[in-house]
């Protein structure tokens, strides 16, 4: 089979061994292979934040209050025996995209399936189950039978994301994530009702995302989208035999930007993002993050937040969806490649000037407030006259600075920075 | 937001809106409806005044996707659940006459909102139960979402009758009723 073109950010340069999801971070941790602290965090801890307990995909008081468990552990429906005939694949493609958007997806695209995109071994759905009749199929066999991948996803709320490394940022991430779980489950069910097969837990989302043009792969290891930047989820895509027309990889200048910017590497609290060049890993040329140091931070910050999101927040592509953002992406897209470094330097300077080299914006939402220092308590809700017994002496919040733990200088001590 | 019609050139749109699923397991609405209710968190969260708590509940409901939300006071006799939180979704097609996966999208979105919102209230340490309620439209009117027409249907300022009232959340969270 020919090597698929994945855009300028990722290149297949050698033989690719299909990734076994059972060797990825969460399953490794579930089995206790990442040490006691992480194992305990995954299985035995309960978040002190009520919203995290209903929206985040692991440690809770009661999983029945978590909608993703309900959705991911449900038995999958049967394929309708009465097929809806598809004579025009382009019309069906427009339809399925309209359906995904109607259900609430922010981004939807179609990739042509390729054996290198498939997971090896059994199906994997986080905190759920996925089984189908094709588990014994080889990646090549799967692709022959099911040639298309539907990537549908939701974006995180920009304003709340500014409070990354805080429960407010978690809300932006987790609420759109559980919403995405529901949309994909509904879309999967709808494809089966059309009379076609829809498989889950089979495809590497990142590969499908670059192949379908959802975005390009950044230095931070995240898919960077032309409308939302890095603030989109990469949920489990749908592999299907529904006749569709696939989309192409895009060039929005991520390749040129990441070469120069390094803002995510500077801000990463665990120094898990490389300052260096791309490497060939498992036959794929890309920026390689250190997932282990990234993952290991979690138990230590469990009282303050769940999902770090720093690299996604500080990425200059992650901006509200406004005209000036579209203009900047359009300029990058249309600029001839040799001239792009100049444009990137200019855009990076603007980004540093207006959003700060290190992001420290104070964000308030409901009764959350990032202006309150970690470990302190205060009620900053305007007009509240209720007696809060636990509010101590520290109920003073001044200025516009938000506090996000851990501070970078605290982690520089124990995580070594690479070259 | 304008009503999204513009699907005339889509040959499959009618199927999406009107053809009911053959296997109910392919429908997310069935799935969420049949899910068991979770526990109430053993420690009650510290609350602000009822007016502010109401504001927070409504903001959370809107963040989860509700188009309209209000709080109604229930009969004084019912001490277990003094308040009802009512959410409503804009519905381009009436879910009562559009049994397709697409026709049920407002129901699906409503279930998502009420499931997560009621779970959140339980995690705050208070009673909350989201159930399909025969009096949903009356409660929606009582919660200030709109008024009832002669046929007993909810008419809202924002969407007219093109609105679906989601499951009603009964709760003992101290709230300030609307309307």
> Residue A182 and residue A175: Cα distance in Å, rounded?
11
Nearest to B112 among A64, A67, A91 (CB): A67
By DSSP bridging, strand B83-90 and strand B168-171 are: antiparallel
Tell me whether A383 touches chain B (CB under 8 Å): yes
Q: What is the C-alpha separation between A98 and B6, in angstroms, rounded?
A: 10
Q: A-chain residues within 8 Å CB-CB of B91?
A: none
d(CA A201, CA A72): 11
CA-to-CA separations, A269 to A149, A257, A263, A337, A404, in angstroms, rounded: 34, 21, 12, 32, 10
- Who contacts B125 (Cβ-Cβ below 8 Å, separation ≥6)? B40, B41, B42, B43, B44, B45
Backbone angles phi, psi at B147, to 5 degrees: -125, 165
Question: Strand, helix or coil at A411?
Answer: helix
Per-residue pLDDT of chain A (419 residues), as tens digits, is 588 999 999 999 999 999 998 899 988 998 999 999 999 998 888 898 999 999 987 665 688 899 998 898 888 899 999 999 999 999 999 999 999 999 999 999 999 999 999 999 788 777 777 778 888 899 999 999 999 999 999 999 999 999 999 999 999 999 999 999 999 999 999 999 999 999 999 999 999 999 999 999 999 999 999 999 999 999 999 999 999 999 999 999 999 999 999 999 999 998 999 999 999 999 999 999 999 999 999 988 988 999 999 999 999 999 999 999 999 999 999 999 999 999 999 999 999 999 988 888 899 999 999 998 887 888 888 888 888 776 555 557 778 888 888 877 777 766 666 54
DSSP secondary structure of A178-201: HHHHHHHHHHHHHHHHTT--EE-S
Nearest C-alpha neighbor of A108 from the set A8, A18, A213 = A213
For B46, the closest of A94, A383, A388 (CB atoms) is: A388
Q: Under an 8 A CB cutoff, do A67 and B28 touch? A: no
* C-beta separation of A225 from A216 below 8 A: no
Cα–Cα distance for residue pair A62/A72, rounded to 1 Å: 16
Cβ pair B26:A78 closer than 8 A = yes
- Is the CB of residue A182 less than 8 Å from the CB of residue B28? yes
Task: Find the helix or strand (DSSP H, E) in which A109 lies.
Answer: strand A107-112
pLDDT of residue B134: 86
> What part of A 197-256 touches B (C-beta under 8 Å)?
none
Of A71, A101, A38, the residue nearest A292 (C-alpha): A38
Question: Residue A10: its pLDDT value, please?
Answer: 96
State the average pLDDT over residues B166-178. 95
pLDDT of residue A416: 63
Cβ distance of A67 and B39 shorter than 8 Å: no
H helices of B24-98, in order, are 28-33, 50-63
Strand partners, A150: A110, A238
Q: Is the pLDDT of residue B44 over 90?
A: yes
Find the helix or strand (DSSP H, E) in which A351 lies: helix A340-355
The answer to whether B26 contacts A190, with C-beta atoms less than 8 Å apart, is yes
Residue B2 pLDDT: 41
How close A85 gets to chain B, by Cα (Å)?
10
DSSP 8-class letter at A52 = H
For residue B46, what is the nearest residue in chain A, using CA coordinates? A388
- The C-alpha torsion from A265 through A270 and A276 to A282, rounded to 10°, is -120
pLDDT at B174: 95
C-alpha closest to that of B156 among B172, B134, B137? B137
Q: Average pLDDT in the B37-55 region?
A: 94
Give me the pLDDT at residue A392, please.
54
Output the pLDDT for position A357.
87
How far apart CA A200 and CA A220 sit, in angstroms, is: 26
A67 close to A181: Cβ distance less than 8 angstroms: yes
B1 pLDDT exceeds 60? no
| Residue B165 confidence (pLDDT) above 60 | yes
| Inter-chain touch A65–B25, beta carbons under 8 Å | no
Q: Decide if B115 contacts B35 (C-beta within 8 A).
A: yes
Q: What is the pTM of this model?
A: 0.94
Distance (Å) of CA A105 to CA A97, A117, A243, A306, B30: 9, 22, 21, 24, 20
What pLDDT shows up at residue A74?
84
> Which value does ipTM take for this structure?
0.94
Assign A267 to helix, strand or coil: helix
* Contact map slice: B 13-42 vs A, CB within 8 A: 13, 15-16, 19, 21-28, 31-32, 35-39, 41
> A136 or B144: whose pLDDT is higher?
B144
What is the distance in angstroms between the Cα of B12 and the nearest Cα belonging to chain A?
A: 7
The three state secondary structure string of A203-231 is: ECHHHHHHHHCCEEECCCCCEEECCCECC
Residues A147, A148, A152: CA angle, nearest 5 degrees: 165
Residue in chain B closest to A191 (alpha carbons) equals B26
* Helix pair angle (B105-123, A89-103), 10° resolution: 30
* Helix/strand/coil for B109: helix
Q: Does A319 touch chain B (CB under 8 A)?
A: no
Contact A193 B26 (CB under 8 A): yes
- Between residues 95 and 134 of chain B, which touch chain A (CB distance below 8 Å)? 101-102, 105, 108-109, 112, 115-116, 119-120, 122-124
- The encoded tokens of residue A309 equal 């999101």
Return mean pLDDT, chain B: 92
Residue written as token pair 């609290």: A269
């Amino acid at each position: 089979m020919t090597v698929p073109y994945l855009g300028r950010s990722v290149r297949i340069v050698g033989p690719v061994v299909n990734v076994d999801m059972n060797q990825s971070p969460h399953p490794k941790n579930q089995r206790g292979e990442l040490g006691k602290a992480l194992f305990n965090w995954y299985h035995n801890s309960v978040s002190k934040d009520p919203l995290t307990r209903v929206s985040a995909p692991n440690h809770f008081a009661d999983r029945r209050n978590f909608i993703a468990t309900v959705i991911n552990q449900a038995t999958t429906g049967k394929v309708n025996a009465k097929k809806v005939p598809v004579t025009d694949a382009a019309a069906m493609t427009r339809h399925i995209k309209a359906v995904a958007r109607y259900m609430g997806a922010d981004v939807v695209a179609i990739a042509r399936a390729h054996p290198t995109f498939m997971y090896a071994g059994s199906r994997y759905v986080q905190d759920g189950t996925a089984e189908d009749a094709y588990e014994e199929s080889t990646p090549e066999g799967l692709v022959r039978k099911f040639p298309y991948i539907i990537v549908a996803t939701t974006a995180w709320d920009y304003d709340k994301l500014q409070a990354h490394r805080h429960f407010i940022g978690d809300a932006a991430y987790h609420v759109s994530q559980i919403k995405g779980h529901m949309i994909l489950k509904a879309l999967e069910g709808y494809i089966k009702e059309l009379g076609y097969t829809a498989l889950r837990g089979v495809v590497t989302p990142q590969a499908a995302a670059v192949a379908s043009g959802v975005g390009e792969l950044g230095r931070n290891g995240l898919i960077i989208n032309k409308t939302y930047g890095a603030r989109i989820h990469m949920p489990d895509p749908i592999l299907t035999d529904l006749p569709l027309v696939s989309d192409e990889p895009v060039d929005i200048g991520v390749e040129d930007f990441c070469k120069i910017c390094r803002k995510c590497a500077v801000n990463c609290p665990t120094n898990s993002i490389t300052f260096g060049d791309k490497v060939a890993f498992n036959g794929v040329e890309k920026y390689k993050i250190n997932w282990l140091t990234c993952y290991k931070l979690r138990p230590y910050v469990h009282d303050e937040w769940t999902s770090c999101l720093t690299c996604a927040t500080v990425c200059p592509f992650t901006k509200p969806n406004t005209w000036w953002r579209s203009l900047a992406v359009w300029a990058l897209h249309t600029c001839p490649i040799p001239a792009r470094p100049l444009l990137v330097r200019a855009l990076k300077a603007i980004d540093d000037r207006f959003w700060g080299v290190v992001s420290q914006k104070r964000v308030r939402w409901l009764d959350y407030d990032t202006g309150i220092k970690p470990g302190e308590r205060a009620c900053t809700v305007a007009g509240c006259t209720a007696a809060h017994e636990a509010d101590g002496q520290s109920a003073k919040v001044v200025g516009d600075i938000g506090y996000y733990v851990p501070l970078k200088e605290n982690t520089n001590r124990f995580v070594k920075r690479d070259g | 937001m304008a009503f999204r019609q513009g699907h005339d050139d889509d040959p499959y749109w009618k199927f999406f809106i009107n053809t009911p699923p053959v296997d109910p397991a392919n429908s997310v609405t069935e799935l969420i409806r049949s899910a068991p209710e979770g526990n109430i968190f053993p420690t009650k969260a510290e609350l602000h005044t009822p007016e502010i708590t109401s504001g927070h509940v409504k903001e959370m409901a809107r963040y989860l996707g509700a188009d309209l939300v209000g709080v109604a006071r229930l009969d004084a006799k019912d001490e277990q659940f003094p308040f009802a939180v009512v959410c409503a979704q804009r519905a381009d097609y009436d879910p009562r006459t559009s049994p397709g996966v697409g026709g049920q999208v407002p129901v699906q979105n409503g279930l998502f909102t009420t499931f997560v919102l009621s779970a959140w209230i339980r995690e705050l340490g208070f009673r909350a139960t989201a159930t399909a309620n025969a009096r949903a439209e009356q409660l929606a009117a009582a919660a200030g979402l709109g008024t009832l027409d002669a046929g007993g249907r909810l008419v809202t300022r924002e969407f007219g009758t093109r609105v679906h009232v989601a499951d009603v959340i009964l709760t003992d969270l101290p709230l300030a009723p609307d309307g």
